[in-house]
Amino acid sequence: MEKAIELGIGFVTGRANVCKIVNSYFKDMIRQTKNMNRPVNITLFILYDLNYIGEERINFYKIIPEVYKDINIKFITPENIEEEKKRIIARTDITQDEVNLLLGNGHAKGRNTLMHFAYRDNMDYLLFWDDDEYPLANIKGENSIIWKKQNNISMHLENIDKADRTIGYHCGYISPIPYIDLKNKIKEEDFKDYIESISNDIISWDSIKEKLKKDNGVTYANKEIANGKGIYEVQMQNGGKWIAGSTLCLNLQHIDKIPAFYNPPNARGEDTFFATRLKDSKVLKVPVYHFHDGFLMYTDIMNGKYPSILRKAQADNALNFIEKRFYHASIGWIRYKPLLMYITDNSNYNKNIETIYNKLKKSIPKMNRIFKEYDFSHLLDELKQYSDNVEHDYKEYIKTNDIWNRLKK
């Protein structure tokens, strides 16, 4: 009998919504693996962070018994992480400070920890899945939305053996940037200055502008891609093979081609810095979507209740956490912007930082008039602080990958 594929599906989470994801889609996970030409064993790795929003530990264990029949579930607790660190220190030349830099809770450390546990437990592949994403595509119809289920497991499995990693697509609310009326709320040039200041490999002014003007800030799925058509190899562009951290599948049989995730302290960008080290790796873009419910406005989708329209995610909406999410995302983005520019355009670093600072200084007063609950001028202080520390963060970025390479051996 042919050897079974060992597939790990990894959730780095701090929200109990992960249990709803598992309970809602486990049957579909199994269905997809039944159609493969080899048997597939699924192991869910759930790494939860009790400090993310203060979720109680018991809420991460509300997975229904039926799931356990055909799927293995491994919870990675804070205690498990600390015990694993001790084991690594005892059996390798990696020090306490080094293992603390690589593994733990947080955006990058959590993903590194999942990779380590999955590789240690002999997984062939590891698929990252975020706790606010559903395997669906929202296709724009004439009068309403067409919702199409996505084979988010089998599409990766059918292609990952030909690559070092595969990456899918996102639709829905793909970023925490809320809808803003560019005619009445703020001048387009001012919002452009702000977005260009915080922009990254995924977020750009052109893409945001198009979605705000055309689709109220919502990203709709391409029909051809949603129907599984179109695979291509991702090439290096501006210093990276740009990928997102979810619907990302890693070929753990090619562990030498898998770098570590990294983000500066209390920043975001873990997938961005991962992407900057993929020059010698083969990355395939595969035609499958995850619907990103970035503001958790449509959790009823998991119960099969599909909205006919997707409303604007506005800051003045009764869902007041939209403004909070946008503010904290802006802080997280501006904190990693210096290191990204230092890596990708080092020769123009000082000039680029000055340009960003001036654009922020000009646009922030307008942002504060729209978003009254938070003071966006803090971004200026954050930019200066992380720019001052950029050489230190760069050394950590290099060191994190050195430690990961030693651990892999």
Strand partners, 125: 7, 251
Question: Helix (H, G, I), strand (E, B), or coil: what is residue 248?
Answer: strand
1 has pLDDT over 80: no
Residue 58 has a CB neighbour count (10 Å cut-off) of 8
Tokens of 313: 């995610």
Annotated domain spans of the chain: 5-177+203-312
User: What number is the average pLDDT over the span 147-159?
Assistant: 98
Evaluate whether 74 touches 117 at the Cβ level (below 8 Å). Answer: yes
Q: What distance in Å separates the CA atoms of residue 404 and residue 94, rounded to the nearest whole number?
A: 10
Cα separations in angstroms, 208 against 179, 180, 238, 340: 10, 10, 20, 20
pTM, two decimals, is 0.96
pLDDT tens digits for range 187-246: 899 999 999 999 877 777 888 888 888 888 899 999 999 999 999 999 999 999 999 999
Q: What distance in Å separates the CA atoms of residue 149 and residue 110, rounded to the nearest whole number?
A: 28
User: What number is the average pLDDT over the span 94-113?
Assistant: 98
pLDDT tens digits for range 108-118: 999 999 999 99
Looking at domain 5-177+203-312, its CATH architecture is: Alpha-Beta Complex (3.90)
Report DSSP state, residue 237.
B
Tokens of 258: 């898998």
pLDDT of amino acid 372: 86
